[in-house]
Amino acid sequence: MAGPAVLALALGGSLTAAALVGPSATATVIALSPETAASPPGSSAAPATWTDVPVLLVPGWLDTARDLAALRIRFIAAGWSHVETLTFRDPAGSNREHALEIDSVVTRMLADTGAEEIDIVAHSMGGLATRWYLLTHDPAPVRRAAFLGSPHQGTLTAHLAWGAGGDEMTPGSDFLEALNEAPPVPEGVGAITVRTPIDTRVVPGESATLPGIQDHTVCCPTHVGLIRDDGVFRIVLDFLERTAASTAGPGG
């Protein structure tokens, strides 16, 4: 079988490459920022759009909601009606505990908005907590999940980190083995990974990918810069704007 297709795009001043990892992945090109369709004649309300789906931004190790505040503002400026961030009680704590906190926030968001599903954008270790939440709350009310610089296979720099989260990010940890025994995301949940080739916190860089999930390499923000980079933001917008059929996860 031929290798994965690679697509290079110039977005927001950043060179981005979209590569599909895994033997079953296929390349897809989707237009960026499509216009919302107008309401049909006689309609009393505009049809639901991707901007009506609530978005939860999940921070990484030691980070808080404050670190994601600028990203939240960008989503709101782009038209999203409900975007939330959270601060974990222990930002260096266990992803298992963080997953329980995500569940509480998601439950409240659905109650507050009346939505049936949310989208999640997770940075760094926040992606591990998000995946643990999806694994332990299947079927979770999540439509799509974007993982920005998340060490899915662990990172060597975790040897310098502290807290239960640092232990869990260590390659070969019991947590990572349990997490990666399952599919990357549950059936029906769309997912992408986004990484930078100069990431000094996710080592090796391939750890930020997931088998069978569309991966984007963006040159060249830092690890922290992934949540601020224009090219990364456009990739995430494109992903959230796609039809469900084009972003379904393994088995979806």
Q: What is the pLDDT of residue 242?
A: 79
One-letter amino acid at 46 equals A
Evaluate if residue 16 carries a pLDDT over 70: no
Q: How confident is the model at residue 17 (pLDDT cuts 50, 70, 90)?
A: very low
Return the SS3 of 144: strand
For the cut 80, the answer to whether the pLDDT of residue 152 exceeds it is yes
Between 44-48, 113-117, 171-175, the lowest mean confidence (pLDDT) is in 44-48
- Classified by CATH at the fold level, domain 6-21+51-243 comes out as Rossmann fold (3.40.50)
Residue 188 CB contacts under 8 Å (≥ 6 apart), including other chains: 139, 248, 249, 251, 252
pLDDT at 14: 38
Cis peptide before 139 (omega within 30 of 0): yes
